[in-house]
């Protein structure tokens, strides 16, 4: 069995070393084939073919553009720290102050409880909708387009109150049901 396998591999290697033929057609194109052609000449390879690819050395990268670091002072003006907001829909506005004015490519991002509340924007007014009742922490950040944080405000805490449906309605004095005797 082993001998048969060795003989088969030897014959296979002879078949793999077929003669290569080269010819030029009437348009001047050079053709290569393993099948003879009337105008073909057999090509003899003396050395093993080695592909040598010359790679261009990479050009040095240009110096990175230095973005002038701007020291922003960020402050949440409204609502104030520990302010109670009463809105059944959970909608309210957040007004902020930025000093100096935002540079090109810089944006403001408002975070509620550590989660971004909306897309980054350049406006100093954020409109928040459908915020759940309870205690929340607000923080403002100045960011670049790539999301890099440039500055952050001090976090503030607010309390959002919403009227509950489970609370009983208290009748006005003298207007409630009369006690039965």
Give the helix ranges, DSSP H, for the chain.
Answer: 2-16
pLDDT at 168: 59
Q: Tell which wins on pLDDT, 136 or 56.
A: 136
User: 4-13, 91-100, 169-178 — which is least confidently predicted?
Assistant: 169-178
Domain count along the chain: 2
**Position 95 pLDDT exceeds 70:** yes
What is the average pLDDT across 86-109? Answer: 92
pLDDT at 12: 64
Residue 175 lies in a domain: no
Distance CA 134, CA 48 (A): 78
pLDDT at 35: 83
Q: Tell which wins on pLDDT, 130 or 8.
A: 130
Q: Are residues 28 and 100 in the same domain?
A: no
Task: Determine phi and psi for 29, rounding to 5 degrees.
Answer: -80, 140
Percent of the chain at pLDDT > 90 equals 44
Residue 6 lies in a domain: no
Give the helix ranges, DSSP H, for 30-128.
Answer: none
Domain CATH for 113: 2.60.40.10
Q: How far is CA 8 from CA 15, 17, 124, in A?
A: 11, 15, 81
Expressed as residue numbers, the domain containing 24 is: 18-45
**Position 106 pLDDT exceeds 80:** yes
Instruction: Using the structure block, give the residue that is written with the tokens 């540079």.
Output: 103
Provide the CB-side half-sphere exposure for 116 (13 A, CA).
Answer: 12
Q: How far is CA 27 from CA 14, 31, 71, in A?
A: 34, 11, 70
pLDDT band, residue 71 (cuts 50/70/90): confident
Q: Are residues 109 and 150 in the same domain?
A: yes
Q: Are residues 91 and 157 in the same domain?
A: yes
> How many Cβ atoms from other residues are within 10 Å of residue 95's Cβ?
13
What is the average pLDDT across 170-181? Answer: 57
Q: What is the phi-psi region of residue 104: left when phi exceeds 0, alpha when psi lies from -120 to 50, beta otherwise?
A: beta
What is the average pLDDT across 40-60? Answer: 77
Q: The tokens of 166 are what?
A: 């489970």
Residue 67 lies in a domain: no
pLDDT band, residue 151 (cuts 50/70/90): very high
Q: Are residues 83 and 146 in the same domain?
A: yes
Burial of 22 (0-12, 13-18, 19+ CB in 10 A): middle
Q: Are residues 89 and 25 in the same domain?
A: no
Percent of the chain at pLDDT > 70 equals 77
Listed in order, strand segments (DSSP E) in the chain are 20-24, 30-33, 41-43, 73-78, 83-86, 92-99, 106-112, 115-116, 125-128, 134-144, 149-152, 156-161
**Position 173 pLDDT exceeds 80:** no
Q: Say if residues 118 and 110 touch (Cβ distance below 8 Å).
A: yes
Q: Are residues 31 and 87 in the same domain?
A: no
Residue 100 lies in a domain: yes
Distance CA 18, CA 12 (A): 11
What is the average pLDDT across 44-65? Answer: 71
Residue 66 lies in a domain: no
pLDDT band, residue 178 (cuts 50/70/90): low
Q: Are residues 90 and 141 in the same domain?
A: yes
Q: Are residues 34 and 77 in the same domain?
A: no
pLDDT band, residue 156 (cuts 50/70/90): very high
Q: Are residues 85 and 122 in the same domain?
A: yes
């Amino acid at each position: 069995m082993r001998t048969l396998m060795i003989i088969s591999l030897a014959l296979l290697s002879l078949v793999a070393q077929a003669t290569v033929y080269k010819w030029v057609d009437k348009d001047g194109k050079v053709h290569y084939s393993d099948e003879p052609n009337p105008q073909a000449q057999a090509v003899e390879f003396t050395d093993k073919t080695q592909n040598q690819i010359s790679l261009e050395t990479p050009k040095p990268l240009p110096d990175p553009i230095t973005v002038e670091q701007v020291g922003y002072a960020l402050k949440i003006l409204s609502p104030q720290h520990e302010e109670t907001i009463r809105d059944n829909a959970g909608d309210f506005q957040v007004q902020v102050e930025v000093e100096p004015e935002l540079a090109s490519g810089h944006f403001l991002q408002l975070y509620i409880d550590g989660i971004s509340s909306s897309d980054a924007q350049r406006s100093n007014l954020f409109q928040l909708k459908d915020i759940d009742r309870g205690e929340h922490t607000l923080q403002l950040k100045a960011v670049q387009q790539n999301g890099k944080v440039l500055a952050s405000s001090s976090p503030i805490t607010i309390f959002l109150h919403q009227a509950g449906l489970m609370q009983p309605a208290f009748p006005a004095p003298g207007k409630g049901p009369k006690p039965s005797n």
